[in-house]
Structure 1
Amino acid sequence: MKRGIAIERDRYFYGSVLSLAVPLALQSALMYSVTTLNSIMLGALGEVPMSASAIADQPFLIVSGILRGLTLGGAVLIAQYWGKGDTDAIKRVLAIAVRSSVLLALITAVAVILLPTQIMGIFSTDKEVINAGINYLRIVALTYVMFAVSNAYMLSVRATENAKTPLIINLVTYSVNIFLNYGFIFGKFGLPKMGITGVAIGTLIARIIELSCVLVHMFFINPHVRMKISDFMHKDKVLFKDFLSYAAPSMLSEMIFTIGMAAYSVIFGRLGTTTIAANTIAEVLHRIGSTFLSGLSGASSVIIGKTIGSGDIQRAKLQKKTFNVLGMGLGIFTMILVLSIKNLVLGFYNIAPATHAMADQMIIINGLCMIAFAYESLYVTGLQVGSGDTTNILIYTTVIMWGIIMPLAFAGAFWFKFSPIVVFIILKCDYVIKGFYGYFRTRGSKWIKQVTRDKEALQEH
């Protein structure tokens, strides 16, 4: 008699996956809905405002990616200490994550505010696009530090299996963000008509509300890890060393990835405004599909981290196999979803026929790549993060992106003069290669790291 696939049979496991994945997916959907609706609303004003917003968002995408990597490294420790039941260590790691994030965000914000034109010029040569995005960029830079605190805290809360609180906070703040953006763009609800600058102001107000909610929960509501201001003043050499061991590779990995994404924008920016607009629209559909995948990868990171922290390595391996199956199913679902709604989404945009045709082709390519993206997401931001395999992630994501994909894309775009669609396909191969490597990397035991210390070892500080 044939044996079935070796996967989890415990209902509690699937309940845990759903309780984490669904709120995380909804949270991601809320985040992307702001970007999507901004793109659609600005697209109604023309291609220049839409392209200017996309270009001006690149510095934030870079810094937010770096901050995400930094705090994901801390979340590795928090998830495994959660499995051990050591909440004191969790508080100490959280304080380190917040301090480090604020410092990095502050440096970036100052650079962006002082040099907006130069920074916009990195991503586009179109002076009209650059001029349209300067005020937007300066205003949005004021949100970087607020985002740093909120991001560090909410990722840490998520690592303790609480995905509902970040969802509720995001539901409030993103709803306000969408309402204000619509009002400021078109002059509705008694608000002044400000176009692209109004989007920046709406985002700033929403970030202030988000930070206020985070601070209230952090200091007064959190039932497991109640922080005090004095916790952030406390130096911790032991845990800071551990934090750097896992956060530094994770941060560098995300930094390399987000800079790579920015480099993609540089490539498209030099292929013309039509290509920028088409890629912006195609990414909207990609983000819709990726919301589901981010929920699963986030859940896998927390669950695997907790299981390893508890010391049950064999069960962690079984859970990994189960997530592989779930990843395949979700990848197929998102592929069908993206291809099914592409015409509906394209209908919202006021764009030239050439832009429409290029965006349609890019969306089809994105849809066909969703299975590969499912596995890339599952390993790079999920299983391997939760297991503490962050150094390996850094190595292989760097080699694949900058050693293979980026040289091919630049050569194709500027040397061989390939069409934008061919260049787009080359860039999407990044997901395929990473997905294959991640699958084979996690077949043994080398990817599983025990990153926690016993309480006695932490008492030396």
Structure 2
Amino acid sequence: MTTSQILKEILRLAIPAMLALASTPLLSIGETAMIGRLGAEPLAARAIGAALTGAIYWVFAFLTFGSTTLIGHHYGAGDVKACGETYLHGLFLAVIGGAAIAAVCIVFAPELYRLMGADDKVAELGARYFRVYIAGAPCTLIMLASVGFFRGVQNTRTPMVLAFFTNGLQLILGYGLIYGHFGLPRLELLGAAVAAVIAQSAGALTYVGSFFLGRETAPYRQISSQICKERLVPLFRIGQDLAIRTGALRGSLVFATATAARMGAVTLSAYEIAFQLFMLCSEVIDGLAVAGQALVAKYLGSGQRSTAFRMGKIVTACGAVVGVGFALFFLATREPILQFFTSSTQVHATLTFELFVLVGLMQPFNGIVFVLDGLLIGAKDTRYLMWAMLAGGLGLFVPIAWLSLRQGWGLTGLLIGISALMAWRLLTNGYRFGTWRRSA
């Protein structure tokens, strides 16, 4: 394939994936802005809840990333039956895992908030919010497994459409239920949780319906409905590595939120804004990572190793360019961004211009890191990613975050810790891609 043909393939998958992924942090940003106007305590409660659910759901991200890799390899090899059966087993794990998550978290919601360092008022408010929100866990995991299937068969358009639908529905319902508009009751923070559960349920039903009723998915439905070891074991193997790797990453971010919570509601609110900007960039650039992962899996599944390597170089360069764009945007719009999120002068003073510069400068490096993650996952190199993330999260970030609390470094220390973690991932991922490409 020529370079232009490879780039066309990347963009065909990446643009819908970018738009779909960007809708999630945009939803979170909009929800954060709405809740932020209720006061510091509701915003802090929402921040802790988001950190907890993010950590939990990202441990189960193998339902998306593992399925994409396995189904992509089957797709490249022309094994349509294996594609459908892998998805069916992903749904099975989603329902079982989601029900278990919901049950445990509903029971231990107050304890989880206190473990995160929330004071009594935030813990009481947050526990009510979290118990409702986490009830939608089975539906959320079903959506994760479904996204993995569609990406694996080189279709990112369907997940884009359904992401717009579910996130748009949640935002509209959230606005109505938080403030009491559209004839809906004013539930404030609890309204955001109710809106999320309704949207998650609608999204899960639509995804499953798209597979079992859609014309394009008909060839993939010629499958056995029995749960078998042949399909579960590969999912568990790649899922184990990704769950530990992602658990270390999200655990580091949860530790950062817990550390910020112990620094006070103002610092936590400022950290939440910086984190939302970080996630916006990561979700958009992850669209390129999705394209890289799906294409690497397909090319390797069909034996085209040299094409997989060439594609990897091109998509990594694209990630760096998008990261530079985000850096320039953040640096040019600091004041409007802060005004959008909160009217608190204390939060504005905490999130200084210098810290905004730090957040901006991180983005080009983040762009390369996120894309390399996708490439290595698509190549089934998940065990290496697991060990590298454990070393970076536990050996580098957690000590810096702990020192930030003990030494009074505040938000500056936390953001430096995140920057150090991303630098570590850049070095380790870049090294591994170099060794992988030499074998191509």
TM-score w.r.t. length of structure 2:
0.95
Q: Is the 8 A contact 1:275 1:358 kept in 2?
A: yes
Q: Does structure 2 conserve the Cα–Cα contact (< 8 Å) formed by 1:186 and 1:195?
A: yes
Deviation at 1:222? 5.1
Q: Are 2:81 and 2:220, in contact at CA under 8 Å, matched by a contact in 1?
A: no
Q: Are positions 1:408 and 2:393 aligned together?
A: no
- Partner Cα distance (2:287, 2:439) in 1: 21
Q: CA RMSD in A?
A: 2.0
Q: Judging changes above 3 Å, is the alpha-carbon distance between structure 1 residues 288 and 242 closer, same or farther for their aligned structure 2 residues?
A: closer
Pairwise CA distance, 1:190: 0.8
Residue 334 (structure 1) aligned to one of 304, 323, 326: 326
Partner of 1:438: 429
Asked if the contact 2:366–2:422 (Cα under 8 Å) also holds between the matched residues in 1, the reply is yes
CA distance in 2 between partners of 1:444 and 1:50 (Å):
45
Match of 2:295 among 278, 293, 303: 303
Could you tell me whether the CA contact under 8 Å between 2:77 and 2:301 is conserved in 1? yes
C-alpha distance after superposition, 1:293-351 (max 9, x if no partner): 11111111111111111101112121222223222212211211222222212112444
Tell me, in whole angstroms, the C-alpha distance in 2 between the residues paired with 1:436 and 1:402: 16
Cα-to-partner distance string for 1:52-76 (whole Å, 9 max, x where unaligned): 1111222311121011134312221
The amino acid across from 1:235 in the alignment is I
Matching of residue 150 in structure 1 with residue 150 in structure 2: no
Distance change >3 Å, CA 446–CA 290, structure 1 → 2 = closer
Letter in 2 for 1:430: L
Distance 1:330 1:388 in 2: 25
**Code of the aligned partner of 1:355:** V
CA contact under 8 A between 1:69 and 1:251: conserved in structure 2? yes
Deviations 1:230-268 (A, max 9, x none): 84x413222322222222111221122112211111111
1:282–1:360 Cα contact (<8 Å) kept: no
* In the alignment, structure 1 residue 278 sits paired with structure 2 residue 264: no
Q: Structure 1 residues 296, 30: CA separation in 2 closer, same or farther (over 3 Å shift)?
A: same
Is 320-329 or 167-176 further displaced after alignment? 320-329
**2:161 counterpart of 1:168:** yes
Query: 2:389: which partner in 1?
Result: 397
Q: How many residues align?
A: 439
| Preserved contact between residue 289 and residue 337 of structure 1 (Cα < 8 Å) | no
- Partner amino acid, structure 2, of 1:239: R
Partner SS for 1:318: helix
Counterpart of 1:29 in structure 2 is 22
Counterparts in 2 of 1:259-270, with a 5 A limit?
Answer: 259-270=251-262
1:417 deviates by 3.0
Q: Which runs of 5+ in 1 are unaligned?
A: 1-7, 450-461
Q: Is the 8 A contact 2:87 2:145 kept in 1?
A: yes
**CA separation of 1:272 and 1:234: change in aligned 2, threshold 3 A:** same
Distance 2:397 2:197 in 1: 35
In 1, the alpha carbon distance for the partners of 2:334 and 2:242 equals 34
Q: Secondary structure at 1:193's aligned position in 2?
A: coil
Identity of aligned residues (%): 20
* Among 356, 366, 370, the residue aligned to 2:359: 366
Alignment of 1:337-356 (within 5 A): 337-356=329-348
Matches of 2:325 and 2:350, distance apart in 1: 24
* Cα 1:136–1:387 shift into 2, 3 Å: same
- 1:95 Cα deviation (Å)? 1.7
Cα distance, 1:352 vs. partner? Answer: 2.9
Of 180, 194, 203 in structure 2, the residue corresponding to residue 187 of structure 1 is 180
Contact 1:285-1:342 at 8 Å conserved across structures: no
Confirm or deny that 1:100 pairs with 2:122: no
Question: Deviation at 1:9?
Answer: 3.8
Matches within 5 A, 1:48-63: 48-63=41-56
Residue deviations 1:133-159, cap 9 Å, x none?
122111111110011111101121112
CA contact (8 A) 1:124 1:266 kept: yes
Q: For residues 115 and 36 of structure 2, what CA distance do their matches in structure 1 show? A: 22
Q: Name the residue aligned to 1:313.
A: 305
Shift of 1:383: 0.5
Residue 294, structure 1, aligned to residue 286, structure 2: yes
The alpha-carbon deviation at position 193 of structure 1 amounts to: 1.1
Relative to total residues, which structure has the larger helix share, 1 or 2? 2
Unaligned 5+ segments in structure 2 are none
Q: 1:132 to 1:226 in 2, by over 3 A?
A: farther
Structure 1 stretches of 4+ moved >6 Å: 446-449
The Cα shift of 1:228 comes to 5.8
Whether contact under 8 Å (1:46, 1:351) holds in the other structure is no
1:89 is aligned to 82
- Letter of the aligned partner of 1:192 in structure 2? P
Distance 1:9 1:271 in 2: 54
Give the aligned partner of residue 4 of structure 1: none
Write the distance in 1 (CA, Å) between the matches of 2:108 and 2:335.
Answer: 39
Aligned mate of 1:127, from 120, 123, 140: 120
C-alpha distance in structure 2 between counterparts of 1:241 and 1:56, whole Å: 32
Provide the TM-score with structure 1 as the length reference.
0.90
Q: 1:165 to 1:368 in 2, by over 3 A?
A: same
Secondary structure class of the residue paired with 1:348? helix
Distance 2:189 2:237 in 1: 41
User: 1:211 aligns to what?
Assistant: 204
